[in-house]
Amino acid sequence: MLRIIFIGLTLLLSGQLGAQELFQDQQNKIIPSVIEEPVLQALSHYPELKETSIHFVFTNKLEKSIMAARPTIGSLFKKRRNRTYKVLINPAFKLDYGKESIHQIPDSVLVGWLGHELGHIMDYEHKNTWEIIGMGISYSLSRNYIRKAERVADAHAVNRGMGAYLLTKKGFILDHSELPQAYRDKIEALYLSPEDIGKLVADLESENTDEQTELMDDGKAS
């Protein structure tokens, strides 16, 4: 059992490195200055994370992804309100014929990517330590679990008004002919499709309209 727990922690928390050119704000966030603007834009959609400690870190250890959000091992066994998370960021895309710096990516695409990772942190915030360890294990063993977890993160972002950013990010990936086909296939298979995102946005707008109608009706009744 202890070995399984250790494996889960290793899979979930591997690849964490120190940040570069750090910017420290007043809300427990550490942000590389070069991506400060898109990070703050993404964070503005998550007021629930205002007091949450999150470090945005450049690392070359992400071989199969561009970003990954994880709790730090030192805070995982603390109370939920005292956890610290890291959003690991690959500084370059691997292309078929070289690399593309993440600094060349439009801010709107970065905001979509960051919004997705913050969705993962929202998911972690609703789980206890053992549930998070179980996530690390399941993520390594089940493609269906990966698909579910990635779609939950997307749904968190859509519910916070980031649907357009997700669509921009998705279009950037699927239309980027020099990105490896295997990576584009993975994104298409595991994440919400543009149609799914559009439906979630429409459902959310419909709910907001219904709530506004109810408020207006209540006002008339009073």
Q: Which two tokens stand for residue 82?
A: 């005292």
Mean pLDDT value of segment 37-64: 92
Encoded amino acid at 16, one letter: Q
Using a 10 angstrom Cβ sphere, with 0-12 exposed, 13-18 middle and 19 or more buried, the burial of residue 64 is exposed
pLDDT at 219 over 60: no
Separation between Cα atoms, residue 1 and residue 75, nearest integer Å: 21
Strands (E), the chain: 22-24, 29-32, 53-58, 67-71, 84-89, 92-95, 98-101
Structure tokens at 36: 């400060």
* Residue pLDDT, tens place only, 73-123: 888 888 888 899 999 999 987 777 778 788 888 999 999 999 999 999 999
Taking each helix axis from N to C end, the angle separating 163-174 and 107-125, rounded to the nearest 10 degrees, works out to 120
Sign of CA dihedral 40, 206, 171, 59: positive
pLDDT per position as a tens digit, 156-210: 999 999 999 999 998 888 887 777 788 888 888 888 788 888 888 888 777 755 5
User: Which tokens hold the place of 80?
Assistant: 């939920």
Distance CA 136, CA 62 (A): 16
Q: Which residues pair with 71 in a beta bridge?
A: 85
Query: Is pLDDT above 50 for 215?
Result: no
Q: How confident is the model at residue 62 (pLDDT cuts 50, 70, 90)?
A: confident
